[in-house]
Amino acid sequence: MYHQEAELAVLNALAIGYRLIDTASMYENEVQIGNALQQTTVPRSEIYLTTKLNNTDHGYDQALRAFDESLKKLQQDYVDLYLIHWPIKEGRKESWKALENIYASGRAKAIGVANYTLPFLKELETYANMAPTLNQIEFTPWLFQEEVLNYCNKNNIQLQSYSPITRGQKFNDPRLIALCEQYQKTPAQIILNWNIQLGVSTIPKSAKKERLQENFDAQHFTLSAQDVELMNTFNEGFRICDDPAIFL
């Protein structure tokens, strides 16, 4: 997303009714997000702001410095959620300790992880003083990570899905098309509602106002339990992004 687009997209999204903004140091748009937050009339207390630790900033001291830099770019004195973006092999333990420090300071209201599959979550148990509030992973009907979902539900960790609509690459699935016809909804709306019915927070990305509205409206209907179960069977291990297993 171009930088100017990021600023406008945030302002449009807030106007529509969105209140969660997800960014990251890696995205190189924290400055633009900060600019948008300065312009909006929506109170900061109503906005849930997430950013993430970059892969190049792992380690205790490095993570603390990186968080300070993110706050500066965002023009904020706190974020609502700070995540480890990827479980980099060298430094992820020290980085988590830094996040616990940041949380204790009150400058992050919650801390969590992203791209943590079961091996990383179980490893985190061995040294964390607190559980992550949230785990953000790639999660779609075609990448139905049921074991991670069950683990997070059992351990009171909110699962959040990124790239939830597969960047449109599965919109031609005949099973999905049939559901679109049945509910008179778009492919994106069917997929996003599937996430909602599973209790998964979902963060579709778009810079287009009409798409932002379409995605927002996905919460205004309900897939049947039977159709949710049907979509659970779509799994074929299809990924848009890297498999976190490369960091094992």
Model confidence pLDDT, tens digit, residues 52-63: 999 999 999 999
Per-residue pLDDT tens over the stretch 75-103 = 999 999 999 999 999 999 999 999 999 99
Which CATH homologous superfamily contains domain 133-239? NADP-dependent oxidoreductase domain (3.20.20.100)
Q: Do domains 1-112 and 133-239 have the same CATH topology?
A: yes
Place of tokens 């616990």: 100
Tokens coding 88: 């980099």
Which of 2, 18, 27, 78 is catalytic? The answer is 27
10 Å CB burial of residue 107 (0-12, 13-18, 19+) is middle
d(CA 156, CA 30): 29
Q: How confident is the model at residue 4 (pLDDT cuts 50, 70, 90)?
A: confident
Domains of the chain: which residue ranges?
A: 1-112, 133-239
CATH 3.20.20.100 fits domain 1-112: yes
| 27 is annotated as an active-site residue | yes
